[in-house]
Structure 1
Amino acid sequence: ILRYTQKQLYDVVSDVNSYHRFVPYCTGSRVVSKPRQDAKSKHDEPYLMEMTVVFLSVRQTYVSEVWFKPFESVQAVAASGNSVFKSLQSIWTFQPLIPSATSSSTTSKAMTSPPSLVPNESPQTRVSLEVIFHFQNPLHAALSRAFTDQVSHPMIAAFEERCKVIYGTPSSQTLPRST
């Protein structure tokens, strides 16, 4: 649970061109193509993102298909042909903790439902990051089990720190008091 709005957190996670500036082990990130202009909706087709990561002397550049559901989620799936990962998928979801009359969005909707047009302005948001991966090499798989916490915790912390850099440290005065 972070003390930023749903929109603020979504904006940080959806700025994939900036990942190399703050995400641990990421040395390069860029959008390589956007959906066609003639698509029915800009959410019907994925963006293609190229990312380079270096961890334990393993350097890997791969392309992911990325779907953006404004203010609700960002889902990335590594394209096939990756020499390190058999499969790699990440899903970020953002759920405001205080309901807003201006937003009909919930994170429990399917990834294919229409996007929310208005973000919830709650000063607290539950952020979820799910990463599912399978390595091609059994040795990489064994190593990854030993280093899972060294990757996942710094990644969440990096996004939280990026929010502080962009939006400042949230004030405890903006939070509702519980009894």
Structure 2
Amino acid sequence: MPPKLPIPTLSTTRRAILPIPRQPTLKNPPQPPLNPLLPLQQPTTPPPSRRFSSTPQPQFLSSFSSLPQPPPKTLSAQKTLPYPPSKIYSLISDINSYSLFLPHCTHSLITQTTPPPFHLPSLADLTVGYGPLTQSYTSHVYCIPSPEKYIVEAISGNADSSIPLSILSKHGYDINSAEGRKKTDGGIFERLVTRWEVLPVGQEEQKSDVRLRVTFQFANPVLGFAAGGVADMKIDEMVEAFERRARVLFGGNKGDKGRL
């Protein structure tokens, strides 16, 4: 009989199972190394919300609401022109032509006259502009064609005519209208009086002594302060414009006497 081979026996030795260590969790994971050839990327965080205030901004002109009203200002000019008083009067009373030669006057229209037989201007609309500002207003007009003293007077706002009512009535003007009219100009002027006087020079019928007096006060104090600085220059421009117009219509030379 063949010999019996030994039967291998299985080892019962158990292998120890070692626990796998757990990697610690990092709060801030490591960043990859920076590449100097690539631009840095900024973190994409949403922009903070912007709050818009609903508080109204103060108006510019509101700061002028407490300005005191400037007092009325009076300017005057006088000049001798080598033309008969009747011609100078006809030029001044022709309000419809003002926009043709007066600086900054863009519209001029006689809207009402006295009844026949006088047909004298009694109401007129004017529009003046200087730079970005344009203003329109209405004036009551009184024309007195007296050879001793020609008068053309235009008033607006709360101003009163300096011409006696008896003389106004004599030339066809409504006395009740002259006493009762107020604020027909739309409120731009608190008062405005423009008065022209044309008188003969001594015994010379071909020369005129021309006098202009303007008294004004704006209803808005802002306009009053703004216009006060340039008013002196404007009255000189006004008289010079009438003088140039007289040369165009009546001819003559520049050697007239007088100075503004």
Given that 2:110 and 2:121 are in contact with CA atoms closer than 8 Å, whether structure 1 keeps it comes out as no
TM-score (norm 1): 0.75
Q: Deviations over 1:38-80 (max 9, x none)?
A: xxx738x861111111124321111111111115110111251
In structure 1, what is the equivalent of residue 219 of structure 2?
Answer: 136
Matched, 1:32 2:107: no
SS in 1 for 2:141: strand
In structure 2, what is the equivalent of residue 104 of structure 1?
Answer: none
Shift of 1:150: 2.3
Shift of 1:86: 1.0
Structure number with larger C-alpha Rg: 2
Q: How many residues align?
A: 149
Letter in 1 for 2:153: Q
SS in 2 for 1:4: coil
Of residues 188, 192, 205, the one that matches 1:122 is: 205
Shift of 1:149: 2.3
Matched, 1:5 2:84: yes
Matched, 1:85 2:189: yes
Given that 2:141 and 2:153 are in contact with CA atoms closer than 8 Å, whether structure 1 keeps it comes out as yes
Q: Quick one: percent identity of the two aligned structures?
A: 30
TM-score (norm 2): 0.53
Letter in 2 for 1:167: F
Change (3 A) 1:171 1:138: closer
Matched, 1:95 2:173: no
Q: Deviations over 1:117-149 (max 9, x none)?
A: xxxx62221101111110111121112221012
Letter in 2 for 1:53: V
Moved more, 130-139 or 76-85: 76-85
Given that 2:199 and 2:208 are in contact with CA atoms closer than 8 Å, whether structure 1 keeps it comes out as yes
Of residues 5, 12, 20, the one that matches 2:99 is: 20
Matched, 1:145 2:228: yes
Q: Runs of 4+ in structure 1 displaced over 3 angstroms?
A: none
Given that 1:93 and 1:129 are in contact with CA atoms closer than 8 Å, whether structure 2 keeps it comes out as yes
Shift of 1:171: 8.0
Matched, 1:165 2:165: no
SS in 1 for 2:138: strand
Of residues 94, 118, 124, the one that matches 1:42 is: 118
